[in-house]
Amino acid sequence: MKIVLFGPPGAGKGTQAKSICNRYSIPHISTGDIFRRNIAENTPLGVEAKKYIDKGHLVPDDVTIRMVYDRLEQEDCYNGYLLDGFPRTVKQAEALQYFLSSRKECLTTALLIEVPGSFIIDRMTGRRVCLACGASYHIKYNKPKVQGRCDVCGSDLIQRKDDTEDTVRERLEVYETQTAPLIDFYKSRDLLRTVDGTKAINLVFESICKILGESYDNIKK
């Protein structure tokens, strides 16, 4: 299973990624989480990435691609992985195809979670996240059992600095111009599958499992 998960900010990528990775026992590779961890630890990569992330812009392709290559070369990726939030540009998608083809591998599926812009501000401003494990919650739609605490690891939940209304609008714009072209990129390679991300979290997960089951069967044939 080698899955790419993409969609606008707030589509539910992180939320669904956790469930998919649990079910298929594959590592969850979220470029956003890796950047945030580096920012928290004040590494050179974190210092560089922060300049872009706080404004809602993309971190440059060369930095991001190098970071993902390093991650995909680790041993736990041998039997598959889920990429959440990468690729986000056509250049990144080409770099991933290059990485795969140089190893005679291919993607199982590129899964688009579709959610109209009108849902996004509400989802993002109500989002609360756990920096320790990457779990994401919502003050109305996905409350933690104990307010302000992560169900999975017990750490404090925070509101991301880039989840303000203005920055979210900027990120939506960036999505439309730089990431939406991936729809055609993957469609033309017959890898694109789409789910309606406006449904309840468990229903979205059901649709995803159905798609992944079918894609996996196709590859085995």
Question: What residue ranges bind ligand ADP (CB under 6 A)?
Answer: 7, 9-15, 31-32, 35, 52-53, 56-59, 64, 85-86, 88, 92, 123, 126-127, 136-138, 141-142, 171, 197, 200-201, 204
Please check whether residue 112 is in contact with residue 6, taking contact to mean a CB–CB distance below 8 angstroms: yes
Q: Provide the 10 A C-beta neighbour count for residue 152.
A: 13
Q: Give the 3-state DSSP-derived string for 160-178, with helices as H, strands as E and coil as C.
A: CCCCCHHHHHHHHHHHHHH
Closest CB 91 distance from ligand ADP, rounded Å: 10
Q: Which is nearer to ligand ADP, 127 or 193 (CB)?
A: 127
Beta strands in the chain (DSSP E): 2-6, 28-30, 81-84, 109-114, 127-130, 136-138, 157-158, 192-196
Separation of alpha carbons 142 and 128, rounded Å = 10
Q: Which amino acid is at 43?
A: T
Q: Is 149 marked active-site?
A: no
Does residue 36 have an active-site annotation?
A: no
**Environment class of 119 (CB within 10 Å of its CB; exposed 0-12, middle 13-18, buried 19+):** middle
Task: Please identify, using beta-carbon distances, which residue of 37 and 187 lies nearer to ligand ADP.
Answer: 37
153 binds Zn ion (CB under 5 A): yes
List the catalytic residue out of 88, 123, 128, 193. Answer: 88
Least Å from the CB of residue 160 to ligand ADP: 8
Closer residue to ligand ADP, CB minimum distance, 128 or 191: 128
Two structure tokens written together for 2: 């080698």
Please say which residue, 181 or 219, places its beta carbon nearer to ligand ADP. Answer: 181
**Pick the catalytic residue: 18, 36, 123, 171?**
171
Alpha-carbon distance values, 26 to 57, 123, 157, 177, 189 (Å): 29, 27, 25, 30, 23
Q: Is 18 designated active site? A: no
Q: Residue 136: which of Zn ion, ligand ADP, none does it interact with, CB under 5 to 8 A by kind?
A: ligand ADP
Shorter beta-carbon distance to Zn ion: residue 84 or 107: 84
Q: Which does 138 bind (CB under 5 to 8 A by kind): Zn ion, ligand ADP, none?
A: ligand ADP
**Pair 64, 89: CB distance under 8 Å:** no
Q: Given the residues 2, 18, 123, 127, select the one marked as catalytic.
A: 127
Query: Active-site residue numbers?
Result: 13, 88, 127, 160, 171
Q: Which residues bind Zn ion (CB under 5 A)?
A: 130, 132-133, 135, 150, 152-153, 155
